[in-house]
Structure 1
Amino acid sequence: MEVFVGIEHVNLKIRNRVILADLSWQIAKGEQWLLNGASGSGKTMLAKAIAGLGRVSGQIKVHYVAGSTLPASTLYVPQWLQFKDKQGSSSFYFQQRFNSADAENTITVWESLLEYATRIHRSEAKAQLLLETFGLWSRKDAPIIQLSSGEHKKLQLIKALLYRPQFMILDNPYTGLDVQTRTCLNEQLEIACAGGMQLLIVSNDAAIPGCINRFASLLDGKLVTSNEPIAVKQQTNLDYQLPYFLQQAPVLAVEELVSMRNVNIRYGEKQILKDLNWCVKAGEKWLLNGHNGSGKSTLISLLTGDNPQAYGQEIQLFGRKRGTGESIWDIKKQIGFISPELQWYFEPGSTVFQAVASGLFDTSGLFRKLSLQQEEKTNELLKLFGLHTEANDLLTQLPLGKQRLALLARSIIKNPPLLILDEPCQGLDEAQTSMFNQVVELLCNTNRSLIYVNHFDHALPDFLSHELMLEQGIAIRNKPILEKEYT
């Protein structure tokens, strides 16, 4: 066996907690690997260590192939795209993506890709071909900040495939992608590996490219390898009993929580939503569906008060027309909200406790003193989600799955009548996803309403009652769910 990556006696710790213990691993030339494991098992830390990112004890050596036409380098592709504005700042907040003035300060999709192609000596034609392959060519003139989370992911993967190094490490590459794009990605990875690239995918997903021929799993700091897929060992001891303050949803004086009539949203030449009519009544549980870029993120922004184009539209929220004197905080106090962008842009200095408690005030971070009752609510939710032992840790120091659980707890701490959960299980393992959906079901057993976005059928709760499907901003399905079939 000719070794491509040699890993010997690697140890990794976080705050004196052993994550990886004396780990050794050899990746032979020609092998394509899938690495899985429960959330927090150390997958991302190991992937970054192999790519030379971060400190590690032990030895890691990549033996690049001399004379290869591919760059002799390792590319680590994180879970989401990180970008900067024209002044070089990467400090964004969620609402910026919907403000035209802020969008003008962000380079476009094509500008970003063309600059990258030039830097890595790739042709403009190849860059265009990949944009077309992933269905982003029509968005080439869009400012990056206006892309949906799925479109951000597409752009990130396009750049990785454009570079195509000798060794590519993809950390949860399917996060936020629709079924069509996942298939497209796997096809492109198979082409790249056939051309000499070696691949390590970090993922618990089953829909992997056919070129994967070796499997590894992390369990209790140890690595198990196989020629066959390895099931992730799931374990949880979480308490599913809701705290008392969440056992009854607030009763509102209106039947329709959301009412939209002939809503049209446009950015330049791009029609995002077209003649949309939609009504969400008390107690209804909606699946919001559609391909990446279909308009879901924009629609949600109209409901959460983050999009200024809501003014002048026929939109009523909680019985009141937008633009009739209500503040954004009047809207947000009725909604429990989570999205991938909320996690990306959240205040980095927040502890886990502060992140959860900030949901009481709809702020990114905690900036005021809590009452005793508010502290008790926060601690009850930390216990519910199994985060009480990490309450004083920085949110950013947690594994991504636990970061998401903290923000899920944040979304329900107000006991809101409406939950808007945009890809709420991104970064969660199977046990955490099951646990969260059970908690959501308990919350929705009252007259609470729900809008749920998810591209993975297996992660959807089975109590959804209605479906709105968007295609290029048009509602092609807007009705009760008669059968448990999701597209």
Structure 2
Amino acid sequence: MRFPSVRPPVINIANGTFYRHHPGTNSIHPNPALFKDLNFTLPSTTDQPTHWYVVGPSLSGKTTFLQLLRGSHLCFPPAARSYPYLSTDAVPHRLRVPHKAVQYVGFNNDGFSSSITTSAYLSARYESKRENTDFSLRDFLLGNTELNPLKSSSEDESDPALLDRVVRDLKLAQLLDLPVAFLSNGQGRRARIARALLTAPEVLLLDEPFMGLDPPTVAGLSPLLHGLASKASPRLVISARPQDPIPDWITHLVYLRADSQIGAIGEKEAVLDELRSYVRRVWNGTSREDGNLAVHNLVHVGRTLTAKGIHGEPLMGEEALKSQKATIREACASRNIGKPVVEMDGCKVQYRGKVVLGNWKQKVNGKEQEGLIWTVRRGERWGIFGPNGSGKTTIVSLLCSDHPQTYSLPIKLFGRSRLPEPGSGELPLTFWDIQSRIGHSSPEIHQHMPRNLAVRQVIENAWADTFRSKAKLDAQAVEKVEACLRWFEAELNPAFVRSSESGSSSAKGISDLKWADHYMFGELSFSAQRVALFLRAVVKNPDIVVLDEACSGMDDGVRNRCLLFLEHGQTKSYVKNEDGSETVVESEASKLGTVKVGGLNDNQALICISHVREEIPDCIREWVCLPEANSGESARFGVSEAPLGRDEKSWREIWGM
């Protein structure tokens, strides 16, 4: 049998237009055409490698684009999307259908592949008692996550050699016997990538795989993905935000507009040149800015990710970035530091003799003491840094009192121990007392937040005891919730339409908040979900605000608005300049005296965790960097003189780069 010299493409889309719902049906949900007249080809041959990177801001449709490559969403005409290579003899029978041959891996905190591997409440991951449904990482990778599994065929069994290679390359060997609920955010990401690779698909779609990973892990994961892509085993299509660096091995780019249409597509350098030319024309006044192709997003595109880290300048160079007023926020002025709200005096967390946090000695007043020694005071703004698996989330679980060992460790929260202190005459704070005084946003909160809550209910949940209990709001709390919904309607309302003339919503959009009761949390985009959880953490001005990767998944504009709101509430806002940049000014609410939600105050403490420099609030000064787990090195503490989001030198010092 003779094979043609040129094999057909794996995915071929020729002038296809896509819809979430059939355009002929009547629905209260918006149903715009997605990616009109799209042309896209993913070749099957590796003679001329094509490695695709899909870039776009929040709500631009990155996830939608990846999903339609797999066969999701309606295509018109239907024949415009095809998978010719899957019909050839080169493809095993089990991969003859797109939903098996094209695997999608997203990181939207919906848990692992089976909902039964997700704990029912936050503290479950730290408990020693294991249930039948607490599957190990090994079970997860092998697909053994069903209580009553059907007999699998030989085609479904994983190749032992492939398993060994994937586990070794993704640094999962030491974690195989741990329950998946024990994995950190970064470890969970690597586990999901590994599971997809073990199915040996023809195409692997990775939706923002670098988000939430520490810089060294990102630099190590990129070459691994390059090796897979170079062998076309599998072929990769990766999505990213505009500010994310582009791996040096990427050959082709797709830049998406805010209206879920293609802004530019083709070879990497050609696309970057096209975008660069567009930005120059807008800045020179020879071209008007397209509202769906925001300049402030584009200037951050273009840095290169290599095995040694991030290099190069963004699309318009560092000088252009410095001139972009959108990234400049006022740093906190002089602060009044108050009494301690968190005191850890030698904390060491261990499971069955294995220390996961505090396996070091710290010098305090000239004396060495074992474990983590750390005090957080009112008015302080702390950053917690360290590689994935170093114990950052464990620290958060201790101060939020979710971790069972909080009761046995030398920890004081708000000046009181979790256990009765002899002679003190004071009762210890209850779990509910502590929870009511802490605002918390994290991937774990995201994973457990019920998807069937309305948008309003998610923010109101700041005043509730549990995720599903009814919130207890007074009139002031209701005003705060509605102020947040109006302030962030553009980010939270899927049907929001911005006025092209004024840059603001219509009168109806301002006064009518019915959308917040209509749309469910699960219907929002990943970015919008993160915004809702961010507001839930800050809306009631709690004593401690804990932001654990709270801005991951947001593009620059959304992130900047959230960080500005964190520090200043409704007193400051952005106004757009003619060149597309934005300036921070006193808000209309401040001028009119109608501010309902203020920014951080001296009675509050802020604790922020992030691996991305730009996601660190400008007011962060104090920092602690945890060592690699069981490295024997101690935690390092420091104070930054300048905002970390704009101080490359301090950022590199923290990471030892």
Give the TM-score of the pair, scaled to structure 1.
0.88
User: Are the structure 2 counterparts of residues 441 and 377 from structure 1 closer, same or farther at C-alpha, using a change threshold of 3 Å?
Assistant: closer
Partner of 1:222: 261
Please list the CA deviations of residues 228-285 of structure 1 after superposition, one character each: whole Å capped at 9, or x if unmatched.
355673679xxxxxxxxxxxxxx99x61111001111112343111211111111111
- C-alpha displacement at 1:90, in angstroms? 4.9
On the 8 A contact 1:113/1:159 being kept in 2, the answer is yes
Partner of 2:285: none
Partner of 1:64: 85
- C-alpha displacement at 1:129, in angstroms? 3.2
- C-alpha displacement at 1:225, in angstroms? 0.9
State which drifts further: 288-297 or 371-380: 371-380
- C-alpha displacement at 1:296, in angstroms? 0.9
On the 8 A contact 2:12/2:82 being kept in 1, the answer is yes
Partner of 1:380: 483
CA distance in structure 2 between the aligned counterparts of 1:88 and 1:221, rounded to whole angstroms: 34
- C-alpha displacement at 1:404, in angstroms? 0.6
State which drifts further: 303-312 or 116-125: 116-125
Aligned residues: 474
- C-alpha displacement at 1:329, in angstroms? 1.4
- C-alpha displacement at 1:53, in angstroms? 3.6
* Matches for 1:35-434 after TM superposition, within 5 Å: 35-59=54-78, 60-64=81-85, 66=88, 68=90, 73-79=101-107, 80=109, 82-83=111-112, 88=116, 90=118, 92-102=120-130, 105-115=133-143, 120-196=156-232, 197-204=234-241, 205-219=243-257, 220-223=259-262, 224-228=264-268, 233=294, 255-274=339-358, 275-324=371-420, 325-365=428-468, 367-368=470-471, 370-386=473-489, 387=492, 390-392=515-517, 393-434=519-560
On the 8 A contact 1:32/1:211 being kept in 2, the answer is yes
User: Are the structure 2 counterparts of residues 427 and 391 from structure 1 closer, same or farther at C-alpha, using a change threshold of 3 Å?
Assistant: same
The higher radius of gyration belongs to: 2
On the 8 A contact 1:3/1:26 being kept in 2, the answer is no
- C-alpha displacement at 1:299, in angstroms? 1.1
- C-alpha displacement at 1:368, in angstroms? 4.5
Partner of 2:574: none
CA distance in structure 1 between the aligned counterparts of 2:155 and 2:626, rounded to whole angstroms: 37
Partner of 1:480: 639
- C-alpha displacement at 1:364, in angstroms? 1.5
User: Are the structure 2 counterparts of residues 278 and 62 from structure 1 closer, same or farther at C-alpha, using a change threshold of 3 Å?
Assistant: same
Partner of 2:39: 25
CA distance in structure 2 between the aligned counterparts of 1:355 and 1:402, rounded to whole angstroms: 12
On the 8 A contact 1:469/1:477 being kept in 2, the answer is yes
Please list the CA deviations of residues 283-340 of structure 1 after superposition, one character each: whole Å capped at 9, or x if unmatched.
1111101111111111110111111111111100111112233211111122111001
- C-alpha displacement at 1:22, in angstroms? 2.4
User: Are the structure 2 counterparts of residues 177 and 256 from structure 1 closer, same or farther at C-alpha, using a change threshold of 3 Å?
Assistant: same
Partner of 2:512: none
Structure 2 counterpart SS, 1:291: coil
Structure 2 counterpart SS, 1:64: helix
User: Are the structure 2 counterparts of residues 133 and 198 from structure 1 closer, same or farther at C-alpha, using a change threshold of 3 Å?
Assistant: closer
On the 8 A contact 2:141/2:198 being kept in 1, the answer is no
- C-alpha displacement at 1:103, in angstroms? 6.0
Task: Name structure 1 gaps, 5 residues minimum.
Answer: 237-250
- C-alpha displacement at 1:119, in angstroms? 6.8
CA distance in structure 1 between the aligned counterparts of 2:33 and 2:123, rounded to whole angstroms: 36
Task: Name structure 2 gaps, 5 residues minimum.
Answer: 1-5, 22-28, 44-48, 145-151, 276-292, 298-335, 359-370, 421-427, 494-508, 510-514, 569-598
CA distance in structure 2 between the aligned counterparts of 1:312 and 1:222, rounded to whole angstroms: 55
User: Are the structure 2 counterparts of residues 114 and 4 from structure 1 closer, same or farther at C-alpha, using a change threshold of 3 Å?
Assistant: closer
% identical equivalent positions: 26
- C-alpha displacement at 1:370, in angstroms? 4.1
Q: Which amino acid aligns with 1:27?
A: T
Structure 2 counterpart SS, 1:409: helix
State which drifts further: 87-96 or 255-264: 87-96
State which drifts further: 126-135 or 169-178: 126-135
CA distance in structure 1 between the aligned counterparts of 2:294 and 2:405, rounded to whole angstroms: 46
- C-alpha displacement at 1:114, in angstroms? 3.6
- C-alpha displacement at 1:110, in angstroms? 2.1
- C-alpha displacement at 1:153, in angstroms? 0.7
More strand by share: 1
Partner of 1:243: none
User: Are the structure 2 counterparts of residues 298 and 104 from structure 1 closer, same or farther at C-alpha, using a change threshold of 3 Å?
Assistant: farther
Structure 2 counterpart SS, 1:26: strand
Partner of 2:506: none
Q: 7, 18, 24: which one pairs with 1:11?
A: 18
